[in-house]
Amino acid sequence: MKKKILLGYNFDRAGFKVLEENFELIYPEKQYFQKEELLHLIADADVLVPNFGYRTDKEIIDCGKNLKLIANFGVGYDNIDAEYAASKGIAVTNTPNSVLEPTAELCFALILATARRIGFYNSALRTQEGLRWGLYNNLGTSLYGKTLGIFGMGRIGQAVARRAIAFGMNVIYNNRRPLDASIESRYNAKFVDFESLLQLSDVISINAPATSETFHLFGSNAFSKMKSNALLVNVARGSLVDEKALIEALQEGRIGGAGLDVFENEPKISPELFDLENVILTPHAGTKTVESRLEMQHEVVGNILGFFAGKQISRVN
């Protein structure tokens, strides 16, 4: 009998077709399985590719009597209780390779769009009133020569740093621990403590995972320490930023602007952000490209096949 893969989300079938030879694939008819449905279906599944709308928690994991692998579609796995899964001998994998470049790309797109006011220009030019074109009207900020502070200098943070040096920016970073000197010198990047990152950066980029330690790390206290024209860009997870405090800081001009791809209550965005023209909003689009979606499915397939073949995979627990 074929092993069963339960797909929590209605993933593109072509991307997982290659699995059908050795596995039975169970897809939702709608966009995703409601949690109640999933709790029944997971009873005899060997593999779960989880949904994002609710957490793969103890309750779900306990129902997975045959569950051997939770293969996440994405690099951030805060949607899974990976520690509890480990305690029951269930592996959790993620997709760090396929998300790396597209996420760094979007991160830098937001850095540029925020500094150079791309969203504001693009919207204002399309209004009836238009926009004043004069030399000194509606000026943005150059990035060249400025300091980028990267919070979370993992692989994505480093891929952002690589781009930043081509833009003539200085790179500082804060991380759980300093990187090897060889990596630091590649990006001419300097380790600083969190407080210094806030104080010295012209642009702060959040590239760290959502954990209990990073929850609301960027709140009113942090914003009060940032430069008054500093820009904040978040392509990591909404929970790292206190969205209410950010809105206040932006409304009161305590920071210069924000580029936000992730939010505390996705897909809901605090409506106050819609009224701020120094804010760029994107819909969790770090990997929202044709190429990324295919490559991520390819990486999930590799993790599933590799797991059962006893090969090296992107296991996180």
Give the active site residues. 237, 266, 284
Q: Does 188 bind its own copies (CB under 8 A)?
A: no
Q: Does 157 bind its own copies (CB under 8 A)?
A: no
- Measured between alpha carbons, how far apart are the two ends of the chain, in Å? 28
Site string for its own copies, 212-251 (x = CB under 8 A): ----------------------------------------
Phi-psi map region of 74: left, alpha, beta (phi>0 left; psi -120 to 50 alpha): left
Q: Which of residues 137-156 bind its own copies (CB under 8 A)?
A: 138-145
Q: Does 253 bind its own copies (CB under 8 A)?
A: no
Q: Does 285 bind its own copies (CB under 8 A)?
A: yes
Q: Which of residues 262-281 bind its own copies (CB under 8 A)?
A: 266-267, 269, 274, 280-281
From 13, 58, 88, 288, residue interacting with its own copies (rule: CB under 8 A): 288
- DSSP state letter for 130: -
Residue 137 contacts residue 153 (beta carbons within 8 Å): no
Neighbours of 69 (CB within 10 A): 24
Q: Does 89 bind its own copies (CB under 8 A)?
A: no
In the 3-class helix/strand/coil scheme, how is 218-233 assigned residue by residue?
ECHHHHHHCCCCCEEE
The three-state secondary structure class of 112 is helix
Residue 157 contacts residue 173 (beta carbons within 8 Å): yes
Nearer to its own copies, 181 or 290 (CB): 290
Q: Does 110 bind its own copies (CB under 8 A)?
A: yes
Neighbours of 81 (CB within 10 A): 20
Residue 179 contacts residue 153 (beta carbons within 8 Å): yes
Q: Does 163 bind its own copies (CB under 8 A)?
A: yes
Instruction: Kindly list the residues in this chain that would bind its own copies in the complex (CB under 8 A).
Output: 9, 11-12, 31, 73, 101-102, 105-106, 108-110, 112-113, 115-119, 121-123, 125-126, 130-131, 133-136, 138-145, 162-163, 165-168, 266-267, 269, 274, 280-285, 288-293
